Amino acid sequence: MSTIIKKTNLFKAIFNKQTRAIPIVEILLLILLIVIPLFVGDFLTVIITRMLILGLLAISFELCWGYSGIMTFGQGLFFGMGGYAVALFANKADFVQLWGVIPIGIIIGMCASFLVAWLLLLGKRPPELIFIALGTLTFSYAAERLVAGWYWVGGGNGMSIYEYLRIGSFEVEPGLLFYYIAATILLLVYLASRFLVKSQFGLVLAGTRQNEKRLAFLGYKVQKFKALVFCFAGAIAGLGGGLYAHHEGFIGPGNMGIGISTMAVIYALFGGAGSLIGPIIGVLAIESISFTLSDIDAVRGYWATILGVILLVVVTFKQDGLLGFVVTQRERIGTFGILKSTEHKPSENSQHLKNEKKDASS
Amino acid sequence: MKKKMPLLEVKNISKYFGVLTALDSVNISVQENTFHGLIGPNGSGKSTLLKVIAGDHYPDKGDISFNGNNITKHSPELRAQNGLNLKFQITAIFPELSVYDNILLSLQSSESFWNLVLSKSRTLFHDRIMDTLERFKLVDRAGSLAGELSHGLQQWLEIAMAVIRKPKLLLLDEPTGGMSPEERRATGELLLPIKKDCTLIIVEHDLEWIKDICDNLTVLDQGKVLDDGTVEHIESSQRVKEVYTSRV
């Protein structure tokens, strides 16, 4: 009996909305991340590695939308450009070293996102949300059409990478080692992003999301802050694209167009926007459901329809996503100062005033 | 004796919204460390003038000089960085942030990029934030969400956000709007001590309150300056009385 009570208390501690649930979810996911390849076969390890790489894309979108209020449909563009860049290095220069692939993806993603930010975000007047959404969508679509018609980068067939990723002379095939490399990179990107959004810089981003105009009247150059986050997110997407191209051995127009850009949006909305862990949960959930449904004989013909309905139901009826079941909005926003809980108890002075009021009324 | 240069000078400012003339060749001059009231009937252009000074609207004609510099074409960010702050008519706080974080956000705006990323200044600012919260009677609510405060406390929070930055000129658009008489009195008491460090321009409908707190008044009517001068001068002005008795 006492065991049952203890278990109930533990459940309450985990899922009570007063407690901080995000660190618990993060630790659970981290443990899962470390041990899961030890319990599944090579095939599933490869599938999960792909999910982790897509997690980078989801984080890059979340930094833009969930933290900075930039509605971007262009993260697929930076993802694809990172992928194409490393594929070109692999095919034209036989360069497949991991130590080079990572910075190539980052630099290409950052430069491309800077160019888009310069055109869309850094104008004389703050751009409307819809302008940025449609602008990034157009860039993404145009880039997809461009590479689909450009023979040098493989045209509509895309580019295959025939050599495995290397660390020195050691080949990294998709499998356990690639999994842990991808997991480590995702973890580092997650921690760096977490550090950023929890810092005083993150407080500015939180302000941007809530009242951009007011922030300008406090003296902040809001568009510059947005552009910085956009470039950081672009770098993450480019890094993801570089890893993706090597993991899949292929990059094509579909990996940099509207389709994958929209998937980044759906990952975040499904998992729960406004937190960094939500989009990763979104990727894991959507990709797992897709994989499972497509493998069931009874629904193989119409699994995509079922997935679409599930996405619609969650996005429509649970607007804070799957994470909303355990995490409050307040926790997602968090606090940024160093206020201790003991410091906002009623002061002696105010208590005195309250007593005075009581006396007067009696 | 040489006359002291005004902190703010608005020269022949006009602002049009389509065919509507919101401001018509308005001139005002505000001396340092004074409280200057803008009064007038509804639609007289008080809030528009405040927004033009703060950079929310750009004038169609005329010039604004602040602290000796022409700021007519400066962005709101630049004006704020140079010490000119606005408290909006409709409370503009960050409702999903705590009261403490609202103040921190206001205070850290002049910090460098790396200081913000590395969170170098939040410890340094802590005591100053707590002092301001204490002064504006918000210390008990420091950890509460700003959106959960009463309307009056939200107004105080917004004034506190402006005051903590030690601006040279603070523009307050209806700071006592929606407050009880008791809260209005307390707001006046909160504002008076800042006179030694800061100049205030206040738009307010409560004439008794503004007369008590301000040194000088400018009366606007239909986008034009009807009269300006000391409180005593305005109180005895026949033109002002006519406008107020006929329209207010």
Residue A204 Cα, gap to closest chain B Cα (Å): 7
Least confident among A5-9, A316-320, A324-328, B159-163: A5-9
Domain extent listing, chain A = 19-361
Which sequence spans correspond to the domains of chain B?
1-83+168-181+194-248, 92-166
Q: Which residue of B has its CA nearest to A346?
A: B140
Give B104's contacts in chain A (Cβ within 8 Å): 200, 203, 336-337
CB burial readout A171-206, b (16+ within 10 A) else e? ebebeebbbbbbbebbeebbeebbebbebbbbbbbb
Least confident of A16-20, A335-339, B72-76, B117-121: A16-20
Whether A318 has a pLDDT exceeding 90, the answer reads no
Q: Do B142 and A343 touch (CB under 8 A)?
A: yes
Tell me the residue ranges of DSSP E strands in B71-168: 84-87
The most confident of A53-67, A206-220, A287-301, B227-241, by mean pLDDT: A53-67
Q: Could A201 and B143 be called an inter-chain contact, meaning their C-beta atoms sit closer than 8 Å?
A: no
Residues of A with Cβ-Cβ distance to B144 under 8 angstroms: 344
Cβ contact, residue pair B88, A206, below 8 Å = no
Residue of A204, A210, A217 to mutate, interface with B, max B Cβ within 10 Å: A217
Which pLDDT belongs to residue B180? 84
Q: Residue A354's pLDDT band (boundaries 50, 70, 90)?
A: very low
The CATH number of domain A19-361, selected from 1.10.3470, 1.10.1760, 1.10.10, 1.10.357: 1.10.3470
pLDDT at A351 over 60: no
Residue A216 has pLDDT above 90, yes or no: no
CATH superfamily, with its number, for domain B1-83+168-181+194-248: P-loop containing nucleotide triphosphate hydrolases (3.40.50.300)
At A166, list the tokens.
């290397």
ipTM over 0.90: no
- Cβ contacts (< 8 Å) between A350 and chain B: which residues? 137, 139-140
Contact B137 A218 (CB under 8 A): no
Confidence grade of residue B245 (pLDDT, cut at 50, 70, 90) = low
Please report how the helices A200-210 and A42-68 are oriented relative to each other, as an axis angle in degrees rounded to 10. Answer: 70
| 3-state class (DSSP) for residue B47 | helix
Q: Do B77 and A216 touch (CB under 8 A)?
A: yes
Cα distance from B159 to chain A (closest Cα, Å)? 12
Enumerate the β-bridge partners of residue B227. Answer: B219
- A218 contacts B106? CB cut-off 8 A: yes
Q: Do A206 and B140 touch (CB under 8 A)?
A: no
CB nearest to A200's CB, from B56, B88, B121: B121
Give pTM, 2 decimals. Answer: 0.85
Average pLDDT over residues A253-270: 92
Strand partners, B230: B216
**Closest partner residue to A218 among B56, B105, B119, by Cβ?**
B105
How far is the C-alpha of A194 from the C-alpha of B155, rounded, in Å? 33
